[in-house]
Amino acid sequence: MISTSTTALDPHRVQRRSVFLLSSAQLLSGIGNGATLSIGSLLAVDLSGSDAWAGSVTTIMTLAAAVAALPLAGLAERRGRRIGLVTGLVAAMAGALLVIASAVTASFVLLLLGAALLGLGTASNLQARFAAVDLADPERRGRSLSTVVWAVTIGAVAGPNLIQPGAVVGTALGLPAIAGPFVFSAAGLLLAAVLLFAGLRPDPLLLARKIRSTGDGAAAGDGAAVSAAPARKRSLSEGMRAVRASPHATLALLAIVAAHGIMVAVMSMTPLHLQQMLGGSHAGHHGGGPGTDALVVIGFTISLHIAGMFALSPLMGWLTDRVGRTSTIALGFALLVLAVGLAGFGQHSTALVPTGLVMLGLGWSAATIAGSTLLAESVAQEQRVTVQGVSDTVMGAAGALGGASSGLVLAWVGYQGLNIAAGVLGLAVLLVAAAAAAKRPAAEGGRFTG
């Protein structure tokens, strides 16, 4: 049963408010991801004593995000976006505290457990982009989604650059310097969870479901009490069948998964490559680790990469709506191929590697925003949340595979070889996306509703 008050809700007003709240939470929670991406591999090497574990934190995070994606989507399907998102953020806050504990106790196991819980925050942040389109008009889906993606820019870019301030805070609190940034991470995640729990009312998914069931453009309720009957639980296999039934959904999922796998594989090994290139220590002595200069360069490079991922996402959303979903996907993979070429063949340059990382972020942004928008509108309304969960599950699995294999590939063929391998995959998807774009009207944009 749908519970409402007597005050009419304007779906457009609720949509604007929801996007603002989702964006604000993304900004706060982005600090956690930024810190983990920049120093997680270094902390893993330090605590494990081996370079072979450099990609373990990224791998565990992405694998946990993949495993949690469908359960969190199921929770959102039954209880609404608010409960699903907050659950992931609270788990991630606990993960940040465990990472701090791992540095204090020199426990590699605690680090991996903390990384796993941080992965639930990653899953929550990914699903926030889909929450932005629950009430969006078709012609503005790309821009609504990209606004929430963009909001993570400030927090995520700030995260790696909080290494030095975090070290000061950590020292003041009696913690190892490398654990300091995670104090900021835990605080940001807590604030994001509180903001969504208190403010995301009415729930955009439940309100969209009510509007669809009543066939009315406005719904009753003042935001405090819009609810709906629990949705039927759907399985991973059911979601995959829905994707396979739509060529557009299949292309969208391919683009999302391949872009994420390429990005994670290259990005996760870049800090270690830069550390070795700059002559920093990586021998795995507790309390040792890379020098301050190396940390600054690594933090700056990862900040540029994350800026590439998120800062121009409104432009990618605009292109998605105006130029077309498939054309923007093709653009994204062209940028990814260019990125790995710059980083791989310029592997000894402190200018070309950061430039390649920026392009890597831009390519990921274009492919992910366009792919996510295309996916959301290419399946039936009642299947969307499940398919979105499937998307994030497979996306996370690809990231975990990329993170796990990248360390081995780096050891076998070096940083250049890693980038060449990523480029081959990117080129293959580029050809598929370009062929699909050529078959669709150039101005598909918001007129395509699935």
Domain boundaries, the chain: 8-215+232-447
How deeply is 222 buried, as exposed, middle or buried, from its count of CB atoms within 10 A (0-12, 13-18, 19+)?
A: middle
Structure tokens, 311: 């800062």
Provide the pLDDT for residue 20: 94
Cα 98 from chain centre? 21
Instruction: Check pLDDT > 70 for residue 243.
Output: yes
pLDDT tens digits, residue range 339-385? 999 999 988 888 899 999 999 999 999 999 999 999 988 988 788 88
How large is the average pLDDT for residues 206-232? 59
DSSP H stretches of helix in 80-233: 81-105, 108-131, 141-158, 163-172, 181-199, 204-214
What are the C-alpha distances in Å from 413 to residues 39, 87, 268, 289, 419? Answer: 23, 41, 16, 24, 10
How large is the average pLDDT for residues 217-231? 44
* CATH fold of the domain at 8-215+232-447: Growth Hormone; Chain: A; (1.20.1250)
Provide the pLDDT for residue 315: 94
Q: pTM of the full predicted structure?
A: 0.75
At how many degrees (to 10) do helices 108-131 and 352-377 cross?
50
pLDDT tens digits, residue range 160-173? 667 777 778 888 88
